[in-house]
Structure 1
Amino acid sequence: MDIANRLTETLDRINLAAQRGGRDPSEIQLVAVSKTHPPEAVQEAFEAGQRIFGESRVQELLAKAPSLSSAIRWHFIGHLQANKIRKMLPLCELIHGVDSSDLARDIDRIAGELGLFPRILLEVNVSGEGTKFGFKPDALREQIDELLALPRVQVEGLMAIPAPVADPEDVRPAFRLLRELRDEISSTTGTPLPVLSMGMSGDYEIAIEEGATLVRVGTAIFGHRPRLKPEA
């Protein structure tokens, strides 16, 4: 199938997963993960109706965005290096993976210099793996008041990338943990945190059943991507 057909199939599966979870499909937004794919692929998805696209490398985003429609809404979904914040902030409407208080403070400081109020999600290490980025749940509980008090960044919710598993059902507890942590923090702080970014090509339907409001789908729409060297 071409990109337009795969996009339609993905949206149909999102709607069915929402119905299974007793949810309104309009509560869920699709982020089409376009990293490593050429502008022509993004354009094809855009012409098919997709508007939100996710990139994980600032250099690639800077090269890609100028050749595409200004109506595209870019999300930054990768690990953000502090030295790339200034270039990324004017382009992206939402930053998914803010994984430390230091990074949040850097974003806040630079946003003040640029006159911006960036929307961010806090990345949680739901699998407990030492190699994973993100706040451990207890650390987030301890630091959340400081993060919410930052004057520029707007914390809108949580994000997670669970460890890969063979059976998508096995990742359900991790998605449930993120939702319950969000609910707990929202209750204790009195701050609405409406956004849950969780679920990718292999497990986004499970994520929706567990409360995802943003799903990040790349391979199911664009096909497999080449491996790239780490960004400098």
Structure 2
Amino acid sequence: MSGVIAENLAKVKQQLAEALIRSGRGEDDCELLVVSKTWPAEVVAEVIDAGHRAFGENKVQEGMEKIPSLPQGVRWHLIGHLQRNKVRKALPLFGTLHGIDSLKLARYTSNLAVELGCHPDVYLQVNLAGEERKSGFSPDDLRRELEELDGLDGLNVLGLMCIPPAVACPEDARPWFARLRELRDELESTSGLSLPGLSMGMSGDYEAAIEEGSTIVRVGSAIFGARNYAV
């Protein structure tokens, strides 16, 4: 299996590089985050052995079970919804949080981060389509609350994150990626703050996301294969 995973990893990295070239961006302008959710530590170790060092987990509990058994020097991102009662456990494990979806959660996470001596990087999750089943800031929320969010002592706000509505093909996701970039640009212009990061794009649509300005893509199944939900 290791040969297949290594081949898939190399293929994704090549496609990422080609998407950056097509969009006139530099080779370091977008990072690959390998999403290791549901995969056991021994499988994740194959990607680490292939030289990759940035991984994303969806659930704090799974990270608690997996991360201690894997080599140090790996950068771990929490990409799923962060529950308030899991923040204290998440902060020592994950240096980057992609699912800060409300001012209330941001304040609480910041306070705990200060208490624990952590200072995580943060992407603010945006619910661009106003989907009832998805969490996230609305664009108007961010317009009102960005200054306070950026000023929280325990968090380093890097930028914005989105998960587009389900679409039939990757090109149908492109307008949502463009909309997130445009919102980021608007917020930077009106606030004077720097929001360099755009966490957008997954296995099925990461090339379109890169072409629309993504700075970090979250890719799992294109590398590992279908999710191992039996774990």
Give the residue type in structure 2 aligned to 1:184: E
In structure 2, the residue corresponding to 1:216 is in which secondary structure?
A: strand
Match of residue 227 from structure 1: 229
Give the residue type in structure 2 aligned to 1:169: E
In structure 2, the residue corresponding to 1:18 is in which secondary structure?
A: helix
Give the residue type in structure 1 aligned to 2:17: N
Deviation, structure 1 residue 25: 2.0
Match of residue 122 from structure 1: 124
Match of residue 140 from structure 2: 138
Separation of aligned partners in 1, 2:135 and 2:179: 16
Give the residue type in structure 2 aligned to 1:88: A
Give the residue type in structure 2 aligned to 1:198: M
Separation of aligned partners in 2, 1:92 and 1:219: 21
Q: What RMSD, in angstroms, separates the aligned Cα atoms of the two structures?
A: 1.2
Equivalent residue runs for 1:1-232 within 5 Å? 2-227=4-229
Separation of aligned partners in 1, 2:79 and 2:206: 15
Separation of aligned partners in 2, 1:128 and 1:81: 20
Give the residue type in structure 1 aligned to 2:62: E
Separation of aligned partners in 2, 1:228 and 1:38: 11
Deviation, structure 1 residue 226: 3.4
Show structure 1 runs of 5+ residues with no match: none
Q: Cα deviation per residue 1:44-77 (whole Å; 9 max; x = unaligned)?
A: 0011111100001111101101110001110000
**Structure 1 runs of 4+ off > 4 angstroms?**
none
Show structure 2 runs of 5+ residues with no match: none
Separation of aligned partners in 2, 1:177 and 1:64: 35
Separation of aligned partners in 1, 2:228 and 2:138: 31
Separation of aligned partners in 2, 1:225 and 1:109: 35
Q: Cα deviation per residue 1:133-191 (whole Å; 9 max; x = unaligned)?
A: 11111111111111112122111100000012111111111000100111111121111
Deviation, structure 1 residue 30: 0.4
In structure 2, the residue corresponding to 1:2 is in which secondary structure?
A: helix
In structure 2, the residue corresponding to 1:92 is in which secondary structure?
A: coil
Separation of aligned partners in 2, 1:203 and 1:103: 29
Separation of aligned partners in 1, 2:216 and 2:48: 18
Deviation, structure 1 residue 228: 6.7
TM-score, scaled relative to structure 1: 0.96
Give the residue type in structure 1 aligned to 2:134: K
TM-score, scaled relative to structure 2: 0.96
Separation of aligned partners in 1, 2:216 and 2:109: 22
